[in-house]
Amino acid sequence: MTDHRHRLSDGYVSREMRVDDLEKLAEIDRRADQLFLETGISNIMAIATGPLTPLDAFSAMLTACTVTVACPSDDVPAGFIAVQRLGNDIYVRLLAVDPDHGRRGIGTSLLSLALDRGRRQGADRCILSTFRDVMFNRPYYERQGFSELPLETASALLRHQFAADIPAGIDPEQRLLMVRDL
Ligand SMILES: CC(C)(COP(=O)(O)OP(=O)(O)OC[C@H]1O[C@@H](n2cnc3c(N)ncnc32)[C@H](O)[C@@H]1OP(=O)(O)O)[C@@H](O)C(=O)NCCC(=O)NCCS
């Protein structure tokens, strides 16, 4: 298999996920969730302390996706993006950066790589679901060219994915679908 690597921001390098990265990616996801404690919104903060996603469920979700990781020089992942093809769109299932490596442009560069890949593969749009009122969610994606896709205008496939992505204990009104043309 060809190992495509790209230089990201701040000395980090991207590569495709390997099977032996799985537990590390689950740990990054959990550590990234700790950022929700900063939101001050009680049911969103509860995500940080809620039950762990079982590793086999996490693994099954990633299996359906193309997963790209970002690593510093030790080649141990510090962040990742998991993207799935949904019809003519690509859909970001997960984007997470370990807070110890946060705010260095990793999330932005992983997203940008995923957009480039989607474009090369002929996808029309990139879609994701996220929190409306979390600083590193809706406003973060707006800065990267995304805007709200009103649920009532979304396809049944996207509405289904939106519903499936709502974390336990969260009101659907706290979430939104976002879209960016490729
Ligand atoms: C969203 C996330 C992937 C961003 O990764 P990152 O590598 O830290 O982001 P970047 O370095 O590319 O961008 C940094 C910008 O994101 C926003 N941001 C990142 N962390 C933030 C925080 N704790 N509070 C507020 N804004 C934050 C800021 O706008 C920041 O810019 P600034 O540092 O100039 O203020 C990361 O914060 C994360 O894993 N969050 C938890 C999981 C999550 O919400 N994932 C997205 C779900 S759809």
Alpha helical stretches, state H, 36-168? 42-45, 55-63, 106-120, 138-142, 156-164
Can you give the pLDDT at residue 8? Answer: 86
Tell which atom from ligand 1 comes closest to the C-alpha of 97: 39
Share of the chain above pLDDT 70, in %: 98
Order the strands of the 66-71 sheet from edge to edge: 6-7, 13-16, 66-71, 79-86, 89-97, 125-131, 175-181, 147-148
Can you give the pLDDT at residue 1? Answer: 47
Cα 46 from Cα 19, distance rounded (Å): 30
Q: Which residue's alpha carbon is nearest to atom 41 within ligand 1?
A: 32
- Flag the least confident range among 2-16, 101-115, 168-182: 2-16
The binding-site residues of ligand 1, defined as CB within 6 angstroms of any ligand atom, are 32, 35, 38, 79, 95-97, 102-108, 128, 130, 135-137, 140
> Which CATH topology does 6-181 take?
Aminopeptidase (3.40.630)
**Between 181 and 49, residue with greater pLDDT:** 181
136 within 8 A of 99, measured Cβ to Cβ: no
Distance 2 CA to ligand 1 centre (A): 30
Question: Is the pTM of the predicted complex or chain greater than 0.75?
Answer: yes
Q: Is 158 helix (H, G, I), strand (E, B) or coil?
A: helix
CA 120 to mean position of chain CA atoms = 20
For the chain, domain boundaries: 6-181
